[in-house]
Chain A
């Protein structure tokens, strides 16, 4: 009841005309930021902070948060149309989203992304409203051993990303582990695999690897196949611009899975939204009746990561609003905005400034609705982009890739790395190595190494800490099961074949 009263109070604030306007402005800017690679939500919020200081804190945080969750809506657009992730969180959306577009279902893919974002975004806010304090306590019981187990499960799921050869998928993943350990080691301040380059001391940004292996490699692959006239077929008629009933039905479970996975992973401090979207994608494939459709343009393979990265936003706000602990770069800058307004984020925020807390939560219900209404009409507009002839589109993709990388790294050296990863991605595709496991290894590997070493620091070198804690043990058992299951299937097939041949 307390929650309902708080929410009603919040809607009273969020529905004030000025606050509605700030919410709309934040959502529009967020969508734009999401679409543009190279302009991330953290940088956009930092740019707008000086303006928002002249606003009252409630309106200000409503607008800045709108940019944060709005960017997740827009992020999928370039993933689907150009195979260039707009944000780190929409890398997983490239896999099936771009394939859908290639099959002439670009409009449907954009529609599914918007709907999945809306459903999961709203679901996430409902959870934020109802269970913020208890879920924050749950998140605290999660520490390094549990992270290690979770990330091991994530990496075990790589076998699901495998195409024909699980060995090649595993090798691609291990290559990702290597790339992610380039840079200064947090624990020892030792520089690893930097080849004497100062520019490598901070490691390689995830976006560089993702854009190189997906977008640049795709351009090279298409040049080889000489898809001269049209890269993607243009959908004709309004009906083909929207997802059909079959596609929506296929996404039912993906919406639930993505919402829950995204929210729960989002709550954990230190796990970014790229992790939650990959894990949701892998779960979706694991439980699917048609895992073979994944990577070929399965709508549920797009809906799951899109849902996850939107539910993740609400999840990430839980530790920030209840404990003052930001989970990533964007929430950190939101937090610093609250501090500069003179508010005190922390366990007392809900009591000290209920107008900010409940106003923000209520505005997120409104904002998600606004974003759906804003994004659906954009679908036909963006689908027109497909009419661009290939000889314009390919240079454009290369250009956007460069801008995107320069935007995150601010250095030509890293643009050079982009070219390198493009070549690597192309070579991998030619040699039958899947690209997604490399990205997954890169995303998860860094955190996994850290979690393992932290666990061993806690236990004084005793590996037993990984199995003596119930959550960690459970997750590790799940990881082992995931690894064993396909082997059992393979063994059965082999045995049956043997029986058939002999009998």
Chain B
């Protein structure tokens, strides 16, 4: 039972949100609530922080009551792993952008995604990566004058 409660997504989400709500409340009480010229910076966060705490606890408690009746649906773990892997690659490509620049890191991201996440051939992956990166470079900075993050190489 306890394991099932701890693994339940609503309980988990409610717990995280309640913690966030408490953090907001703690911060808000450090700032002025009502000052010389009217409500201070702590005024509004106090109220929505309180609302987050109350609603997230409500979510958790409501879920606990229903938990006996409903069993949680199965989670598509391979799918979730795929999605999180894609996200990690995307985040990594953003992280290296200050050094490699948009064009290079985007080409690398595309290559890896097409080759391994989508299981396409090496040639297709390379072609897509180069094609998209060049396309972005021609369209945005060259034709439309929209800047892209530049790396140490100057583009």
Contact = CB atoms under 8 A, between A and B. Distances in A.
A130 to B, nearest CB: 38
A200 interface: no
B48 A177 contact: yes
A457 B38 contact: yes
Question: Considering the complex of A and B, which 10 residue pairs feature the smallest CB-CB distances, nearest first?
Answer: A457-B38, A224-B79, A391-B118, A224-B83, A395-B110, A190-B41, A449-B44, A185-B41, A220-B83, A419-B91
Contacts of A410: 147
B146 A38 contact: yes
A97 interface: no
B70 interface: no
Contacts of B120: 391
A483 B38 CA distance: 29
Which bucket holds chain B's interface residue count?
A: 35 or more
A42 interface: no
B5 interface: no
A415 interface: yes
A5 B97 CA distance: 58
A407 B59 CA distance: 38
Give the dominant DSSP class at B's interface: helix
Nearest to A398: B90
Contacts of A36: 144, 146
B38 A456 contact: yes
Interface stretch (A120-128, A280-288, A361-369, A430-438): A430-438
Interface string A454-473: 00110011000000000000
Given A224-B76, A402-B102, A192 B45 contact: yes
A345 B58 CA distance: 54
A188 B41 contact: yes
Given A224-B79, A412-B98, A419 B90 contact: yes
Given A192-B27, A457-B38, A39 B45 contact: no
Contact of A391 (B79, B113, B140): B113
A257 to B, nearest CB: 29
Contact of A399 (B20, B84, B136): B136
Contacts of A433: 13
A503 to B, nearest CB: 23
B94 A416 contact: yes
Given A167-B62, A412-B149, A461 B136 contact: no
B83 A223 contact: yes
6 contacts: A174-B48, A226-B82, A391-B114, A398-B106, A398-B109, A406-B149
Interface of A: 36, 38-39, 47, 165, 167-168, 170-171, 174-175, 177-178, 181, 185, 187-188, 190, 192-193, 216, 219-221, 223-226, 228, 390-392, 394-396, 398-399, 402-403, 406-407, 410, 412, 415-416, 418-419, 422-423, 426, 430-433, 445, 449, 452-453, 456-457, 460-461
Contacts of A174: 48, 51-52, 55
A167 B55 contact: yes
A394 B83 CA distance: 12
A178 B87 CA distance: 24
B87 A167 contact: no
Interface in B56-90: 56, 58-59, 62, 76, 79-80, 82-84, 86-87, 90
A440 to B, nearest CB: 14
Contacts of B76: 224
Contact of B40 (A171, A181, A187, A418): A187
A181 B44 CA distance: 9
B113 A394 contact: yes
B22 to A, nearest CB: 13
Interface string B10-33: 101100010010001001000110
A432 B91 CA distance: 24
B85 to A, nearest CB: 8
Given A188-B32, A452-B44, 12 more contacts: A165-B59, A178-B49, A187-B37, A187-B38, A188-B41, A193-B24, A224-B79, A402-B106, A403-B146, A419-B90, A453-B38, A460-B38
